[in-house]
Structure 1
Amino acid sequence: MGRWEPNAKGRLREAALDLYVERGFEQTTVAEIAARAGLTARTFFRHFPDKREVLFAGSTDLERHMVDALVGAPEAASPMTAVGVALDAAAAALGGNRDFARRRHLVITANGELQERELIKMTRLSAALAGGLGRRGVAEADARLAAEAGIAVLRVAFERWVTGPEERDLAEVMRESVDRLRSLTR
C-alpha cells in the first residue's frame, strides 16, 4: 500500500462518494472504495460497518449538535424558536462542504434504499428534537409538531441549498425557510 497517510476515514468517504457518483451505489464495492483511497478493505471496515454508512456516519453527531443547541436555547424561547436554534446548529454542521453535500444528495436521491435510510435518519432527528422540547417542558403533542415542522424546514432548505444555482450559505437558506413557514402559518 505504500507509506502511511493520515485521514483514512476522510479518504474513504471521498473515494466512496466519487465512485458512487461515477458508477452508482449498487455497482460499487468496498474493495473498490478501499483501493481508490489507497487502503485495504479491512481498514474500510474499521471505520464503517458497510458501504451505506459512508453516507450516514455523521448522523449521530448531527443529532447531538441539534439537541444540544435546542436544549441550550434561552429559557423564554418558544418551541419553534428553540427548533430554529437547532436548525442553526444543523446548518453549521452540514454547511461546510457544499460540493460533498451535493454529491451525497445525488447518490441518495438515485437509490431507493438510501432514500429510506435518509428518512429513518430524519425520523430519528425529529424524535430527538421532540424529546429535547419535552425536557424544556413542552407538551408532547406540541413538541412533536414543532420537531416535525423543524425537520420539514431542514429537508426543504437543505435540498434548496444543494440544488440551487446560487452560492448561498446553508444557514441563510435555513433561516429564509423558517421565515417562509412562519408566513405560511399566519
Structure 2
Amino acid sequence: MELFEEQGFEKTSAVQIAQRARVTTRTFFRYFPDKEEVLLADADADAVKETLVQHLLQKPDVTDTLQAVTRTLADFDWEKLGPRQILRQRDAMIASDPRLLERELIKQQQLTDALRDVLCRRGTAPDIAELAANTGSQVFRTAYRKWLEDNNDGDLTTITENVMSLLAAIMARGPVPATAARLP
C-alpha cells in the first residue's frame, strides 16, 4: 500500500512490489497473478463472501428480504479487513483506476449474486430475490462509502439504517428534491 501511495498505482511494477516485500519476483507471482490482486486480495473476497452467505443462510427470518440483505452486510466486521484509514486508501485507489474498479465491481456483483441465490434457496421468489439482493447491496455500498468518509468513527450499522430510512422515504413520497435529503 505504501509503494502505491508513494508513486501511484499505475507507476508501480510487480518487480518493485516484490523488492519492497523482500521476496523474489517469482515468489510474488506465486501468490499474486498481477499487481492488481495485491490491492484486491487484501479483502479476501472469497472468504468474506462465504461468511456473508453463511450469515444470511442462518438468519431465522428472511421475509423482509431487503432488510435481511442489508443487515447481513452491515453486521459483518469490515474493520477486521484492516483499519478504516487503510480501507479508505484502498477504496480511493480502486476508484481511481479503471482496471481495479472493474475487478472490484465484478467481485461485488459475485457477492450480490450469492446473496440472491441464498434468498432463492430460502424460498424467496427469484424476481424478489434479485431485486432485494441488488438493492440491498447498493444500499450497503452507499452506507459503506459514508462510513469510510466519516471521521467520527460512526457505526456502520447505524449508517446503513439511515440509508435504508432514506430509501423508504424516497419510495413513500416519490420524487424527493435533491437538496431535501442528506445523510449524516
Give the TM-score, by structure 2 length: 0.82
State the identity as a percent.
37
Cα offset, 1:89, TM superposition: 4.1
The answer to whether 1:33 aligns with 2:7 is no
Q: Contact 1:79 / 1:133 at 8 angstroms: preserved in 2?
A: yes
Runs of 4+ in 1 over 3 A off after TM superposition: 93-96
1:138 to 1:76, Cα distance in 2 relative to 1, 3 A? closer
Distance in 2, matches of 1:50 and 1:66, equals 27
2:131 to 126, 132, 145: 145
Match of 2:54 in 1: 68
* 2:92 corresponds to 1:109: no
Query: Once the 2 structures are TM-superposed, how far is the Cα of residue 76 of structure 1 from its aligned partner?
Result: 5.6
Q: Which position in structure 1 is the counterpart of 2:161?
A: 175
Query: Number of residue pairs matched?
Result: 169
Stretch deviating more after TM superposition (176-185 or 130-139): 176-185
C-alpha displacement at 1:45, in angstroms? Answer: 2.1
- Inter-partner Cα distance in structure 1 for 2:157 and 2:61: 23
Gaps of 5+ in 2: 173-184
Contact 1:126 1:147 in 2 (8 A): yes
Matched, 1:93 2:50: no
Summarize the Cα distance change of 1:137–1:162 in structure 2 as closer, same or farther, 3 Å threshold: same
- Name 2:148's counterpart in structure 1: 162
Distance 2:65 2:18 in 1: 45
Cα drift, residue 81 of structure 1? 2.7
- The correspondence for 1:49, drawn from 30, 33, 44, is 33
RMSD over aligned CA atoms reads 1.9
Conserved 8 A contact 1:62-1:93: no
Question: How far has the Cα of 1:48 moved from its partner?
Answer: 1.7
Q: In 2 relative to 1, CA 40–179 (structure 1 residues): closer, same or farther, beyond 3 Å?
A: farther
Q: Which residue of 1 aligns with 2:67?
A: 81
Larger CA deviation: 103-112 vs 158-167: 158-167
Is 1:132 equivalent to 2:96 in the alignment? no
**Any conservation in 2 of the 1:21–1:106 contact (CA below 8 Å)?**
no
CA distance in 1: counterparts of 2:62 and 2:46, whole angstroms:
27
Q: 1:42 to 1:175 in 2, by over 3 A?
A: farther
State the shift of 1:36 in Å: 1.4
Gap change, CA 1:174 and 1:42, over 3 Å in 2: farther
